[in-house]
Structure 1
């Protein structure tokens, strides 16, 4: 049986009793998202940078991930510029990374696939 894609898993909120992810568990989850986009910074937060063909696509992507954030009640910091969108994310309740951050990143990766230029 194959493991369910991270983007298809529930984005479950943590509790204040949860510890931030660290070490091998953190690295394992990082390997399941687009490592060309996402970087783990100081085992504290994720930083991602998505590239686009133009401003309109970047803007539409920003809107889509904003809608996702509202649906899941898990809100990243988003920076929009011509042809790129920067995202910074962590779970504030535990002041670090939680599995939900990686689920959200995987879902953003999936949304971004729709903007890939036609080959």
Structure 2
């Protein structure tokens, strides 16, 4: 079975049905446990606390680079020592496999920062 991190995101487009909840849970279980669903279960969210002021910006820049490579762009929120990431497929306002693939790529970035 191919891991999520080895897959490539499908560019954001409409016409895909959202994943059923059981598939969302199964895919989320393959991610860092800090990922959570928003209350409506239509987005993935991750909040990080960082020790250094510039660490959230450095991580966000790495995420932005991968986002452009994968054609899948999360919402990033940066404040002092904190980074919040929200992921979903904008065109269907819900989650598809690409959202989980991208989350796994973010997990790899966090591992490289020992977070």
Query: One fold, TM greater than 0.5?
Result: yes
Instruction: Report what 1:100 is aligned to.
Output: 98
**CA contact 1:44–1:95 (8 Å) conserved in 2:** yes
Specify whether residues 51 and 99 from structure 1 end up closer, same or farther in structure 2 by C-alpha distance, changes over 3 A only: same
Query: C-alpha root-mean-square deviation of aligned residues, in Å?
Result: 1.5
What is the aligned length? 114
Other structure's SS at 2:54 match? helix
Displaced runs of 4+ in structure 1, greater than 4 A? none
Instruction: Report what 1:31 is aligned to.
Output: 29
Other structure's SS at 1:11 match? coil
Could you list the runs of 5+ residues in structure 1 that have no partner in the other structure? Answer: none
Structure of greater Rg? 1
Instruction: Report what 1:40 is aligned to.
Output: 37
Instruction: Report what 2:67 is aligned to.
Output: 69
Structure 1 position 14, deviation (Å): 5.5
Other structure's SS at 1:69 match? helix
Provide the TM-score with structure 1 as the length reference: 0.87
2 CA distance for matches of 1:18 and 1:94? Answer: 7
Structure 1 position 56, deviation (Å): 1.6
Provide the TM-score with structure 2 as the length reference: 0.90
1 CA distance for matches of 2:17 and 2:52? Answer: 40
